[in-house]
Amino acid sequence: MSTHQKPIDPELIQLEEVHKDYVCGRRRVQALRGVSLDVRQGSFVVIEGLSGSGKSTLLNLIGCLDYPTRGRVIIAGKDTSAMNDRALSRFRAERLGFIFQDFNLIPMLNAYENVEYPLRLKGEAKAQLRRRTEAALEAVGLIDMADQRPAELSGGQCQRVAIARALVSQPDLIVADEPTANLDSHTGERIVELMRSMVERFGATFIIATHDPMIACHATHRYRLRDGRMVFE
Ligand SMILES: Nc1ncnc2c1ncn2[C@@H]1O[C@H](COP(=O)(O)OP(=O)(O)O)[C@@H](O)[C@H]1O
Ligand SMILES: [Mg+2]
């Protein structure tokens, strides 16, 4: 993993009046009701809000896992609604990294293989695979645990593996949904500090949903959702 900064693409994320409705049978939930947001490269953006306020919905749109009902989601200059499913999944694999509250590691694979996985999906050359995977494990302080499977690691170590996996392909953007929700507060704090340090070291950009106030104090930009709308404090 190189420490060189990526060329500045000032607006990495642009949301314009984004709405998202979920329809289940006759019921319609307006999960997002006109959210606009600009995120610059190198930001550590924190989205706060109570459970049900729309944080995961927002992250799913930014992470190109779903389409908005209305409005525009533009990531690295690309309007996601102009991409079909196939193009969107390629875009995700090439440009985005994900961190989840329950880590989402593959249980049969050891730490090394979990981190290597996204590079394999991209069809990266063998020599690159090893170099990058080791660098990512090194960056999260887990090179000595490369052979351990998730069941043999603590929650904090699992989340470090997940961070290494998110960073290994040098994505433009890392999307983290409640990354500390399943960690004790001390471990959570170290995970946040680790993610924060990735901004300086690798020019990474993070967008993090949380209701952990401890994360928010590390934010470069802080927003709050309430009932699907941004509230400004
Ligand atoms: N797949 C879904 N189908 C129907 N309703 C959903 C779905 N996902 C989320 N919702 C609803 O949308 C609202 C926002 O949910 P969510 O984005 O998960 O909020 P948060 O992550 O802040 O807890 C909630 O009312 C939730 O019940
Ligand atoms: Mg959520």
Helix axes 111-122, 85-95, angle to 10 degrees: 130
The pLDDT > 70 percentage for the chain reads 95
Query: Is residue 131 assigned to a domain?
Result: yes
Residue of 21, 22, 208, 226 with the most ligand 1 atoms within 8 Å of its CB, for mutation: 22
Query: Is residue 3 assigned to a domain?
Result: no
- Note the ligand closest to the C-alpha atom of 178: 2
Query: Is residue 213 assigned to a domain?
Result: yes
> Domain span at residue 203?
11-231
| Residue predicted with more confidence, 7 or 156 | 156
Number of domains in the chain: 1
Q: Is the pLDDT of residue 1 over 80?
A: no
| Residue 54 Cα to ligand 1 middle (Å) | 6
Mean pLDDT of the chain: 92
pLDDT 10s digits, 31-84: 999 999 999 999 999 999 999 999 999 999 999 999 999 999 999 888 998 899
Query: Is residue 137 assigned to a domain?
Result: yes
Query: Is residue 219 assigned to a domain?
Result: yes
Q: Is the pLDDT of residue 146 over 90?
A: yes
Query: Is residue 2 assigned to a domain?
Result: no
Q: Ligand 1 pocket, 20 CB below 6 A?
A: no
Q: How many CB atoms lie within 10 A of CB 28?
A: 11
pLDDT 10s digits, 66-76: 999 999 999 98
Looking from the CA of residue 177, the nearest atom of ligand 1 is: 21
- Note the ligand closest to the C-alpha atom of 177: 2
Looking from the CA of residue 211, the nearest atom of ligand 1 is: 22
Query: Is residue 4 assigned to a domain?
Result: no
Cα distances from 70 to residues 21, 32, 44, 155, in angstroms, run 9, 10, 26, 38
What CATH number should be reported for the domain holding residue 158?
Answer: 3.40.50.300
pLDDT at 10: 66
Query: Is residue 25 assigned to a domain?
Result: yes
Residue nearest to atom 5 of ligand 1 (CA): 22
Pairing label, strands 27-40, 229-231: unpaired
